[in-house]
Structure 1
Amino acid sequence: MTIREALREAVERYHTIEQVTLRALLRHVTGWDHAAQAAHPDDYRLDQAQVEGFLALAQRASQGEPLPYLTGQQEFFGLAFEVSPDVLIPRPETELLVEMALQFCREHPERRRIVDVGTGSGIIALTLAHYLPDYTISATDLSAAALAVAQRNAERLHLSERLRFVETDLLAALPGPFDLIAANLPYVDQDELITLPIQHWEPHIALSGGKDGVELIARLLDQAQVRMAAGGLILLEVGYDHGPQVLRLGAAAFPGAEVRLFQDLARVDRVVRIKLPESFSRS
């Protein structure tokens, strides 16, 4: 079966799937990129196993399963990460938090005690380690399955020696002090979650932020009070409507800190930045 025939067959069977998704699945199965597919639609032929694999993935896509789970990977900040239904699919919006973390580390090279809380597939910790080649970074998660994915990502990116993965509840097993805490914790309101299509595919433990969406963030700030170094930084990704609430939580947890809200490229509230004063003393 040629490329053209395979695509036509998939469209006839599963007409709701976008062409870009079908071509991504075809690339995953055959290794032929979009340029090759476009240039040789009648020359390149799929063998029977490839046809069956492609159509099976197309069927799953037609049922709403996200493309990264079908291909087993997702790009983030220029790096390719393994993903599975055990972890949240990386979103480009999280790149803002990573950019802010990198800026802090480059401006303060002496501050090297970094932890990524709720690491999931490891995208924050591993991206920081990749772009900060002489840093060692800690990463925590409550899910052993998620940490297994993160560890495999560390291996494929050749970063295992500079990552410390810890299975724990937020920061419970780590005494600190930390110069930088970065966290993209679950922040979907519990009631809102049941209305979203993603609830059928992505792990609830990686999505649900409790009744008001900020329960885990509030708990993290409570733990961080006795674990942050003076002059340190906390970066929190937040839900689109949680910014003001997290600003209040941050100001209450760290009186005297500079607490600010930043928007992403779509002008949606995305990251709360808590910069501690040099006079900060752990309680």
Structure 2
Amino acid sequence: MDLKELKSGLENAHSHEQRVEEIAQFFGSYNLVFGHGTDSAGGEAYWLVRHLQRWNVRDWTSPPTHDHIGEILEIAHLRVTERRPLAYLLGKTWFAGLEFNIDRRALIPRSPMAEIIERGFAPWISVGKGDRVLDIGTGSGCLAVSVAHYCPGVLVEATDVSPDALELAAENVKKHGLEGHISLIQSDLFDAVCEKYDVIISNPPYVPRARLASLPAEYTKEPAVALDGGSSGLNIVNRILRNADGFLRSGGLLFMEIGEIAQAFSRAYPKLPLTWLEFERGGEGVFMLTREELTGYFKG
């Protein structure tokens, strides 16, 4: 299916559902890779149409007009020719039910940790007014903003080594009106951090460096610094693990996502008492450790 056929299909569609089907068929005609907010051509097609409608219910249920056809064609063309993730083309994405600004300054949010944040970290810990949460490697700020949104009164600090990422995170903090609840710190992991926290969360770079060159084209559009985990994928993970207990209060918890290197991680730390989390909406590779478990393993 080419762009001319897509244009004809969009013009002749009698419903927005049919338009979504046409776009999905177009995307499916190319070797696209999904995983930046959706997991299918149909999911991306629906997201594109609804985004242009500003998620207005009336627009979705009304008969389609020729509005937005030009925009759809332009975005669809860029999606298949440049292999840019749809989130970057739209400049918006969703995480934990919240909309975020996104561009190539940061990784596109997709962590399964959204589920535990939406529950306020229950049943593992109860956080409330005056408690502190640290987000290491905040990128777009999605984890930090979500924590502040779902855990009212919690004080959140978020670090990143990239000043560009922190600028984007600041946009998202302001977008959600959370300037008084989130502090952004330029820091290489813990270097500029001086508090102790009830919870530390992190989705650090964990892709083995040798794999970066073989990633699908969509992933190469994201900042390499947000993906590159060094030779083993564990370089940043190791640094966080070995220092986290010094920044946790008694009974504090570390939540970390390590995705596809979970098995390699378990082999590297066979006696580390990890609690692997399970998710109703899918996803894996997230573990939890207490401060006491970290101290006992690394300093006991």
Coarse TM-score class (shorter-chain normalised): 0.7 to 0.9
In structure 2, the partner of 1:4 is 10
Alignment match of 1:260 (pick from 227, 252, 275)? 275
Distance 1:250 1:163 in 2: 36
1:103 paired residue among 95, 103, 122: 122
| 1:16 alignment partner in structure 2 | 29
Task: Tell me how far apart the structure 1 counterparts of residues 281 and 112 of structure 2 sit (CA, whole Å).
Answer: 9
Change (3 A) 1:217 1:99: farther
Aligned counterparts, 1:99-178, within 5 A: 99=118, 102-103=121-122, 107-109=126-128, 112-178=131-197
| Partner Cα distance (1:37, 1:108) in 2 | 39
CA–CA separation in structure 2 for the residues paired with 1:143 and 1:277? 31
> Distance in 2 between the 1:262 and 1:213 partners?
20
- Unaligned 5+ segments in structure 2 are 1-6, 13-18, 31-40
CA contact (8 A) 2:130 2:154 kept: no
- Percent of aligned positions with the same letter in both sequences? 27
Q: Evaluate the alpha carbon distance shift between residue 269 and residue 24 of structure 1 in structure 2; reply closer, same or farther with a 3 A threshold.
A: closer
Distance 1:88 1:74 in 2: 11
TM-score by length of 1: 0.80
1:84 equivalent in alignment to 2:103: yes
Query: Equivalent residue for 1:186?
Result: 205
SS in structure 1 at match of 2:114: helix
Residue 45 of structure 1 aligns with an amino acid whose one-letter code is H
Partner AA of 1:276 in structure 2: R
1:232 alignment partner, one of 248, 252, 260: 252
Paired with 1:247 and 1:104, the residues of 2 have a C-alpha distance of 28
List gaps (5 residues or longer) in structure 1.
Answer: 253-257
Instruction: Give the C-alpha shift of residue 126 in structure 1.
Output: 0.7
Residues 108 and 135 from structure 1, CA distance in 2 versus in 1: closer, same or farther, beyond 3 angstroms?
closer
Partners of 1:160 and 1:246 lie apart in 2 by 38
Distance 1:231 1:111, change over 3 A: farther
Residue of structure 2 in register with 1:223 after alignment = 243
1:25 to 21, 24, 48: 48
Question: 2:193 is aligned with what amino acid?
Answer: L
1:57 maps to 75
Whole-Å separation in 1 of the counterparts to 2:202 and 2:71:
37
Report the count of equivalent residues.
273
Q: Work out whether residues 3 and 37 of structure 1, in 8 Å CA contact, stay in contact via their aligned partners in 2.
A: no
Letter in 1 for 2:66: R
Q: Deviations over 1:170-213 (max 9, x none)?
A: 11101222221110111111112221113321111111111111
SS in 1 for 2:180: helix
Structure-2 change in CA distance of 1:78 and 1:26 (3 Å): closer
Mapped to 2, the partners of 1:139 and 1:162 lie a distance apart of 11
Distance 1:227 1:264 in 2: 27
Distance of 2:61 and 2:132 partners within structure 1: 48
CA distance in 2, matches of 1:192, 1:233: 31
**Aligned-partner Cα distance in 1 for 2:236–2:103:** 23
Q: Which residue of 2 aligns with 1:241?
A: 261
